[in-house]
Structure 1
Amino acid sequence: MASTVRDFEDLLTEAEAASVDGWDFSWLAGRAEEERPPWGYARLLAARLATVETALDLDTGGGEVIDEAPVLPPRMTVTESWPPNVALATARLGPRGVRVVTPRADGRLPFADGSFDLVTARHPVRTDWPLIARLLRPGGAFLAQEVGPRSAAELTEHFLGPQPGPDGREPATARAAAEAAGLRVVDLRTASLRMVFHDIGAVVWFLRKVIWIVPGFTVAAHRPALRRLHERIRAEGPFLAHSSRFLIEARKPGRASAAGR
């Protein structure tokens, strides 16, 4: 690709200047690709949202995934903590009647027990299972696509070296935590997916946006490793990594309302 022969400094400058607000990855078009999980989370989410009266989406980003749903519940709420994303979500979802809530400084949410038929999340920062159990009505469901173990480990280890032990994102750990909170896991699926980076600018932009892959990443702090990876891509072709995802659905015991079935 043409971008692989561009100057190292130009690629870094371009990627550092590009916006990483929201949860839109279109900047990577033609520069990086990632396989999609086979279950089609956005489609599953849209189907569920059309069947309930009340729903909450956690860590919604700029509201992009929720906005894909053609039908939203009469009472739809989303949470987001990063101010640029709060503004994006409000502009995108506000006209559809969605309430955008910013968590309190201590992370608490201002919702009463049993407020929602459905709680959802796509790549949440952290899944607070006791909170989800508290917010769900009896018979309600939690549906999430989560980042799995050692996601993009090839990138992490290029910059940080070998990483010892599990990283806390194992599906079995999520199942145990859900059950400990009193929920019943009714679906759990996993996928390992190819990620291909065609130039170092794509790597920089991705690491600026997906901040947990290389915690504390900056171009200044990681310039030598970026240079090595740039030269590797030039010599050997695109850099290959693998993302890890899992889909989990858990239900709260009890009888669901007719609208939430």
Structure 2
Amino acid sequence: MRSFEELVLEAEQADVDGWGFGFLEGRATEERPSWRYVRLLAEQLGAANCALDLDTGGGEVLAEALGMAASSPPRMVVTEAWPPNAAQAQRRLAPWGVDVVRTALGSSALPLPDASFDLVTARHPVAPDFAEIHRVVAPGGTYLAQHVGAASAFELIEAILGPLSPEHYLGRDAQREAQAAREAGLEVMDLRTARLRMEFFDIGAVVWILRKCVWWVPDFSVPAYEPQLRALDAQMRAGEPFLAHSTRHLLEARRPL
């Protein structure tokens, strides 16, 4: 295995824009939920007339689903707040005539008309605002999403930051989000949860994922957390991958007629 310094430098220089995870190929693994979100998304897109994908990143997931769908919606819109991701989405989704709408960083407001989409989707939205989702989905329309669940990757986060407070474990809870959807006026049709094994095999993979998922350790830098990173590096060099667990939930809801 290359030195700590070589692996870290490579990870610090690697691109983290968009939602591609090619850098982790052969360096980390993560189980996938049994429901196969992209397949479900492709099925829904094939039957939609006007669809909206929230927080699309670089459009990677939506492009895969559109490529699988029997047909694409006559009108397709995506939102994205991070400028480099929005630029990637514009290029990647151009073959399907998708409109990319820039949203304000830190705001959940959607600059879109009321009741204008029969399908609203999201894969790992930043912070789903169910009141806004209810507003833009048409009566009888569907919200289909895969959300990040509670305490996702907390083993890694706590290896860097130390133990988190109990309040952190309450965020992104599937039942709480389902109840928030109901309170916004949506009818929850399906809710499924999964806890999925993650393994990291070298310190470069850890540094890269912490750079990409900036909300995990908001002030992350290698110098600030070098002792923790070196401890993880020593564990992996000894042949013991670092084990964590991601959590996900599938939420399908509809706006009543």
TM-score range, shorter chain: over 0.9
Q: Quote the sequence identity (%).
A: 58
The code of the aligned residue for 2:98 comes to V
Deviations 1:32-86 (A, max 9, x none): 0100110000000010001010010000000011111233201000001111101
TM-score using structure 1 length: 0.93
Question: Which segment is superposed worse, 238-247 or 216-225?
Answer: 216-225
| Aligned partners of 2:153 and 2:244 also within 8 Å | yes
How far 1:222 sits from its partner (Å)? 1.2
> Could you tell me which residue of structure 2 aligns to residue 137 of structure 1?
138
For 1:108 and 1:218, the matched residues in 2 are separated by 31
1:44 aligns with 2:40: yes
1:154-233 matches, within 5 Å, as 154-165=155-166, 166-233=169-236
**1:76 aligns to what SS in structure 2?**
strand
> Could you tell me which residue of structure 2 aligns to residue 257 of structure 1?
none
Q: Which runs of 4+ in 1 moved over 4 A?
A: none
> Could you tell me which residue of structure 2 aligns to residue 124 of structure 1?
125
Question: Which segment is superposed worse, 235-244 or 82-91?
Answer: 235-244
For 2:109 and 2:150, the matched residues in 1 are separated by 26
For 2:95 and 2:35, the matched residues in 1 are separated by 29
1:53 aligns with 2:54: no
How far 1:155 sits from its partner (Å)? 0.2
The code of the aligned residue for 1:116 comes to F
**1:12 aligns to what SS in structure 2?**
helix
How far 1:109 sits from its partner (Å)? 2.2
The code of the aligned residue for 1:53 comes to N
| Aligned partners of 2:108 and 2:128 also within 8 Å | no
Question: Which segment is superposed worse, 154-163 or 102-111?
Answer: 102-111
1:96 aligns with 2:99: no
> Could you tell me which residue of structure 2 aligns to residue 79 of structure 1?
79
**1:240 aligns to what SS in structure 2?**
strand
How far 1:167 sits from its partner (Å)? 3.6
How far 1:214 sits from its partner (Å)? 2.0
> Could you tell me which residue of structure 2 aligns to residue 147 of structure 1?
148
| Aligned partners of 2:108 and 2:129 also within 8 Å | no
The code of the aligned residue for 2:216 comes to I
| Aligned partners of 2:52 and 2:120 also within 8 Å | yes
Give the alignment partner of residue 29 of structure 2, picking from 26, 33, 38: 33
Equivalent residue pairs, number: 250
How far 1:236 sits from its partner (Å)? 4.4
The code of the aligned residue for 1:38 comes to S
How far 1:225 sits from its partner (Å)? 0.9
- Any unmatched runs of 5+ in structure 1? 255-261
How far 1:220 sits from its partner (Å)? 2.2
Deviations 1:172-226 (A, max 9, x none): 1101100000101000000010101000000011111112222222212211111
> Could you tell me which residue of structure 1 aligns to residue 62 of structure 2?
66
Structural RMSD (CA): 1.1
TM-score using structure 2 length: 0.94
For 1:44 and 1:211, the matched residues in 2 are separated by 28
For 2:159 and 2:141, the matched residues in 1 are separated by 42
